[in-house]
Chains A and B, each alone.
Chain A
């Protein structure tokens, strides 16, 4: 081997070693997709994966939203499929450890990637969502597929498919899993314009999707007025406990109070700024600031929420 080539080899080894050191923690933290997601049975037949409060990235494989499945006498319903097909497959592996009954339904609580990117792991099931979900997927699907290559990775995105629901929730819809009824409700624009909640009547367990945030700063991608308007109706749902979209399983409806306080504060601050003639940029930098210490990932959401709230409330 010529001398310059040997030097090249040395350089390559060095680069490789550096790359190896850099990526080793990610490798050791990334379980095989046959490894079941760690689930907790929070009520009889109701299994929940409680995700860490985090943003989607390659290391966590997009697994940042709470997911669940509910087992009936005949079939299983999945509530949200995860932030990557890999996470979806791990959810399926977790289901198979509990039951061999078929996954009849996959309910997507709304359009966001951390809740739908695992859909392809469940092809063959009936996908269920808000009447507006197909439209939202049409408007956003291609954008999400492109931009999340950067957020997650090409590898994690390879198998991700946008799978729209074929069973739509116009207002309310009951799903029968065999001796077990799930009551699905679609809501007016709030967190998004396609939010669905799932109530397991047998155990009084509510899957709130991202209509309910705990610990994780709420994300406004629909209507702040709508969100504030649905809180009372949400609170009246006859549930004992809620699985929020993000954050710990909690008692219902007390779980709504942090979010209610945040949304009221944000709306008040934004309205005052609009009244004073402040710009939308100024609102992004100041509205809701008094809530900072009460939430995780505050900086990842609050300025954006203020921007969205301003562009809605300035029309009042």
Chain B
């Protein structure tokens, strides 16, 4: 793992940054990072998320071969095909345990997982909870469009009550998941929310998530123009809505600072999560707690201290000697 410069972050230590030097490498640019032409419908919110992600990688300048983008199944899960890095496309709902395997197996990699609301909150809901609980070091971007788009308009776990779909022709009757509340409950150590029409905000949230040392999640409201047009207008000023951002505490002692949000305050974050639609955007929650990556590395270090530098062969031979 490198010890190169890291960018300071308000609440958490950063992940290892890119290795210093190697000036022979050309910088990572959008041009280098562009792969297949996206297969999304014209007007899909995911185009903007992709553009913002290129920008984030341009800012981070990780070594090209150490970036991994993976996804589950769904429209948004096509994402990795459009980014020229190591990566791929796993099965529906399981991108997080797969990405956790990559992250825990290789601490030198920068792992990004992408998916939609069905992948993250429905079929993969249990994995979201446990990856968050274990605080595996990776960044998860959920492009939430409140509908199943790839399968052509069925109710999703985030579809509001009353939403008419092919599986609820008279309107959805089940209460939807509140993603921010669910993520807070699951114990994720970085939780943010953004809107696909707000490119600079998305870049800021994804960059902060990428720099967070732990499991970081960004939910991005990303409109499905085919099957749920106008779903997020309430958060889009150009459509008459309000994009209200969360101001974070600066700890500057000023009177106005008292009204700002403390992202380490779980209860305050929960209050933000319970605000009426469309709610606020920004960093809801961010704390430092040991990652599973670090805890496993410490377990290895403690164990190896006891075995005093024994080689794999020494260890195996000693085990067999005990079974004689």
Q: Tell whether A and B belong to one assembly.
A: no
Chain B residues at the A interface, C-beta cutoff of 8 Å: none
Chain A residues at the B interface, C-beta cutoff of 8 Å: none
